[in-house]
Amino acid sequence: MYSLNLQRRLIRIWAFVFKNWLITKRNIFSLFEIAFWPVVGFFSIGLLTTFLELDANMSGFILTGIISMSVIQVCQIDVAYVLLYDLWSKALKHTFIAPIRSFHLILGSWLIGVMRSFVVFLLLSIFSALAFSFDFLRPGLGPLCLFLFGLFLTSALIGISVCILVLLFGYNAEVAAWSMVSLLYLVCGIYYPVSILPFPLPEIARAIPLTYLLEYFRSFYGFKSSSGNCLGWGFGLIGVYLILEAFLFKIVLHRAKRTGTLLRLSE
Amino acid sequence: MSLAIKAEGIFKTFRSGWRGKTRKEVLKGIDLQINEGEIFGILGPNGAGKTTLLSILSTLLLPDRGKVQVLDMDALTDGARIRERVNISSGNANFLWSLTVKENLHFYAMLYGLVGREREKKVNALIHLLGLREHQNVLFDRISTGMKQRLSLAKCLLNDPDVLFLDEPTVGLDPNAAASIREEIHTIQKERRMTVLLTTHNMREAETLCGRIAFLKEGEILTTGTAEALKRMVRVGDVVRIEFQGEILEDELLRADGVINYSISRNFCEIIVDDGEKRLGSLVSVLSQGGAEIRKVTLRQTDLEDVFIELAKEIDSDLGLRL
């Protein structure tokens, strides 16, 4: 009985992997998301570092940033797609009439996001080694896995925020799926350390887990981190935000059912 | 008989515009009791609040006030448990566009926790039951409206629901497709003995399918009952139209049993009687005895549309008096 219940729970999560995967494989645009934009972005920044004759560590600083952002962008969009596909198909109410919980929806779409963004990570780390002699494995497998796991969880945070905005504002919020990540470029120290940011941006950066994750990983390449336990801060903030978002998601879903947004988005 | 659905004092107002200042009161104190295993129809014009009511009962929308119990569970606190045992199908069926019919069914079957062979068997059985076999591998946005409706019906049977909500299941379909969907609904309900709550603005559909019907207008239930009881209640009367040659004596018409009203033209008359089938024979013989040569007799019985118009008139005049 327990095993059957577990199976039923797992299949509900798998449903969203199944849905996103089928839609992804039929959509040529998704190939661009994985292979085109990240690769083009990576090479244009990589070539800029060559032109500026940056030393290996400085190039590594910037390449770490661009690869991290590509991983986050691809993974978070899958989490956002879980509601966006339903929104575009006007099928939102069929998902929410089913006996599923928010975590089925988020976890399933996050898993496929992890798979797709891991492909992006592999692709870009191979290119970075071949074209710019940057070794992503220098910190070791353990720290790399922790760093990647942190990036995947950060993506989940952004994806859930998009879902929350979609449930709040409907079609007006879909632009958030592509624009929220851009804010991270500005404040999280993707191309430069957060210490050069004008007030109050460094303080804002300190509230974003990605800032700590990047500092943690770059510390293996000789860059000093501003706080003692970057990993602890990074995962700690992720944990806090995940709990907050879980509450928020529940509240906005309740609100969408109260205001009729859920139905309007299905018409 | 136990109740499948019980609603008490349901109110719902939608707010829109700047800071929600524009308000539209859609449901104004709905009370409803639906027995287990019956097909119950909610009939009303567009904008009456049918979909809103159905959405509240199916836990997709929360009421502002009122109590809803579905299968003895509170819809406000036990939504997740209720959703295990109910399902919904909408007239304007929308599913994931870039998935095929079969993939859509598999996806929703997974959401209901169906695994492995059990799911495969269920999906195939529903594809067969609803005649979707030829279209099972076609993308959703390439199939006809009729097929979309069939897919919607198939989807809502995935979890063998105890209560099925059908929101205008034949809207936008041609008469043949609509009749076929009605037949499917009737057969499925009979075989599975599930409770069906159906909204429609099609009087004939309600009359054909539903055991009991509630008339909804401007967010209020005007009345509830079987089609026959509603017709009797309103006493609109059946219309007997008789084409004749010769003369009709009005006195004879007035003396005939069951005549409510009549009008006579040069060679035809329209007589409104309480029960057309019952009075037809005696009317014809009364008129024949008076010397008229009867050429053609037609009977138009009261349908739900007449009942609805009559009820709406009564409500409007009540409102007029109150104003």
Of A22, A95, A258, the CB nearest to B103: A22
Q: Hey, what domains does chain B have and what are their CATH numbers? A: 3-232 (3.40.50.300), 237-300 (3.30.70.260)
Q: Which residues of chain A does B98 touch, with a Cβ-Cβ cutoff of 8 Å?
A: 22-23, 26-27
Contact A12 B62 (CB under 8 A): no
The domains of chain A are located at 2-264
Q: Are B239 and B279 in contact (CB under 8 A)?
A: no
In this prediction the pTM is 0.85
pLDDT digits (tens, 9 = 90+) for B132-177: 999 999 999 999 988 998 999 999 999 999 999 999 888 877 788 7
- The DSSP output letter for A195 is G
> Does the distance separating the beta carbons of A98 and B112 come in below 8 Å?
yes
Most B CBs within 10 A among A27, A81, A93, A97, hence the mutation to make, goes to A97
Of A95-99, A112-116, B15-19, B37-41, the one with minimum mean pLDDT is B15-19
Euclidean distance between CA atoms B183 and B191, whole angstroms: 12
Query: E strand or H helix at B198, and its extent?
Result: strand B195-200
Q: What is d(CA A23, CA A13) in angstroms, rounded to the nearest whole number? A: 16
A-B C-beta contacts closer than 8 Å: 97
pLDDT band, very low/low/confident/very high, at B50 (cuts 50, 70, 90): very high
Q: At residue B300, does pLDDT exceed 90?
A: no
Q: Which pairs count as long-range contacts for A57-63, CB under 8 Å and 24+ apart, including other chains?
A: A57/A221, A57/A222, A57/A223, A59/A132, A59/A134, A60/A134, A60/A218, A60/A221, A61/A218, A61/A221, A61/A223, A62/A191, A63/A128, A63/A132, A63/A134
CA dihedral (B181, B184, B189, B192) positive or negative: negative
Question: Hey, what are A23's tokens?
Answer: 């839609």
Closest-CA residue to B13 (of B58, B57, B76, B61): B61
Mutation target to probe the A interface, by most A beta carbons within 10 A, among B14, B22, B54, B61 is B61
**CB within 8 Å: B83 and A99:** yes
Residues of chain A positioned with their CB less than 8 A from the CB of B112: 98-99
Which range, of A151-155, B221-225, B247-251, B281-285, averages the lowest pLDDT?
B247-251
Task: Output DSSP code: residue B139.
Answer: B
B175 CB-contact burial (10 Å; exposed 0-12 / middle 13-18 / buried 19+): exposed
The B86-90 sheet, strands edge to edge: B86-90, B163-167, B195-200, B39-43, B212-217, B220-225
Q: Please report, in tens digits, the pLDDT of each residue of chain A (267 residues total).
A: 677 788 888 999 999 999 999 998 888 887 788 888 899 999 999 999 999 999 888 999 999 999 999 999 999 999 999 999 999 999 999 999 999 999 999 999 999 999 999 999 999 999 999 999 888 888 999 999 999 999 999 999 999 999 999 999 888 888 887 888 888 888 888 989 888 999 899 999 999 999 999 999 999 988 888 778 899 999 999 999 999 999 999 999 999 999 999 998 888
Mutate to test the interface with A, among B46, B89, B111, B118 (most CBs of A within 10 A): B111
Closest CA of chain B from A1, distance in Å: 14
pLDDT for res B240: 86
- Is-contact B108 A18, C-beta < 8 A? no
| Binary contact (B98, A19; C-beta < 8 A) | no
Cβ separation of B115 and A267 shorter than 8 Å? no
Find the mean pLDDT for residues B77-90. 93
- Our measurement of the distance from residue B109's CA atom to the centroid of its chain's CA atoms, rounded to an integer in Å, reads 27
Facing residue for A15 by CB, picked from B15, B60, B110 = B110
Estimate to the nearest angstrom the gap between the alpha carbon of B69 and the chain centroid. 21
pLDDT of residue B314: 66
Note whether A18 contacts B155, CB cutoff 8 Å. Answer: no
Q: Are strands B163-167 and B195-200 parallel, antiparallel or unpaired?
A: parallel
DSSP classification of residue A98: S
Partner-chain contact A8 B115, CB within 8 Å? yes
Q: How far apart are CA B170 and CA B180, in angstroms?
A: 9
CB contact under 8 A, A97 and B155: no
Query: CB-based contact (8 Å) between A14 and chain B?
Result: yes
Question: Tens digit of pLDDT for each residue in B95-118?
Answer: 999 999 999 999 999 999 999 899
Using CA coordinates, name the residue in chain A closest to B89: A94
pLDDT of residue B316: 61
CB atoms within 10 A of CB B177: 17
- What is the C-alpha separation between A133 and B230, in angstroms, rounded? 84
Q: Is the pLDDT of residue B231 over 80?
A: no
Q: What is the pLDDT of residue B318?
A: 57
Q: How confident is the model at residue B323 (pLDDT cuts 50, 70, 90)?
A: very low
